């Protein structure tokens, strides 16, 4: 494996999967979502696969494909399986790898571990942020959670309309650079994903 990128978010439904597709396309990287909970017939892997136009990307099988759309620890209990970071083995590849988390960093995967435990020390962690009341707190808490584990935040990608005062204070207080912004789009198509991939590529390779 060359370089691995871990995509996480400040909350659920902030745009992680679309941004995972953009990063995957920009780098022509492989894509892997270790844990999928629910929506197995239209999983995040399926969604990303439909949006990628390069021929180099490979899509790796989920380590755990859980049936119920819930927090992984609860979905695993319903399915009668035990999720552990020790049994989640990264796929072997000679390519860059984009790893998409589930929800935010402290979403439990078991009674003792969270999504943050799936992050490797060599990962470039990309934090997806979206503006809403409380998002400054959630963004700074996510960065602090990473740093408390000895992990750096490589950069922030914003999803949605700009709020300059919010972004300025996050950058000032955290020192984390902004990779780019994904605007509100009527639809995310292959062409839209490629547009952002071309736009973000240089910052992703820094």
Instruction: Name beta bridge partners: 126.
Output: 7, 155
- 102 labelled binding-site residue: yes
- 44 labelled binding-site residue: yes
Q: How many domains does the chain have?
A: 1
Q: What digits encode the pLDDT tens for the residues 137-153?
A: 999 999 999 999 999 99
The greatest distance separating any two alpha carbons of the chain, rounded to the nearest whole angstrom, comes to 46
- 175 labelled binding-site residue: no
Distance of CA 128 to the CA centre of its chain: 7
Domain of 150, CATH number, reads 3.40.50.300
Instruction: Spell out the alpha helix ranges (H) of the chain.
Output: 16-27, 44-51, 72-79, 135-148, 164-174, 190-204
Domain enclosing residue 55, as ranges: 4-204
- 187 labelled binding-site residue: no
To the question of pTM greater than 0.85 for the whole model, the response is yes
The dihedrals phi and psi of 18, each to the nearest 5 degrees, come to -65, -40
Q: What digits encode the pLDDT tens for the residues 29-56?
A: 999 999 999 999 999 999 999 999 999 9
* Annotation says 67 is catalytic: no
Among 2, 16, 33, 86, the one annotated catalytic:
33
């Amino acid at each position: 494996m060359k370089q691995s990128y871990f995509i996480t978010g400040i909350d659920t439904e902030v745009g992680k999967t679309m941004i995972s597709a953009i990063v995957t396309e920009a780098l022509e990287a492989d894509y892997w979502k270790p844990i999928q909970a629910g929506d197995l017939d239209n999983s995040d892997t399926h969604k990303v696969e439909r949006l990628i136009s390069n021929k180099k990307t490979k899509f790796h099988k989920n380590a755990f494909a859980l049936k119920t759309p819930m927090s992984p620890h609860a979905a695993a209990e319903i399915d009668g399986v035990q999720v552990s970071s020790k049994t989640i083995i990264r796929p072997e590849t000679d390519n860059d790898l984009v790893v998409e988390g589930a929800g935010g960093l402290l979403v439990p995967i078991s009674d003792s571990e969270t999504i943050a435990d799936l992050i490797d020390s060599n990962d470039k962690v990309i934090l997806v942020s979206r503006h809403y009341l409380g998002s400054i707190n959630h963004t700074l808490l996510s960065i602090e959670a990473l740093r408390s584990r000895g992990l750096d935040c490589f950069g922030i990608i914003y999803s949605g309309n700009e709020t300059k005062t919010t972004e300025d204070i996050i950058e000032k207080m955290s020192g984390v650079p902004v990779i780019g912004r994904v605007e509100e789009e009527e639809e995310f198509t292959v062409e839209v994903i490629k547009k952002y991939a071309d736009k973000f590529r240089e910052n992703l390779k820094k």
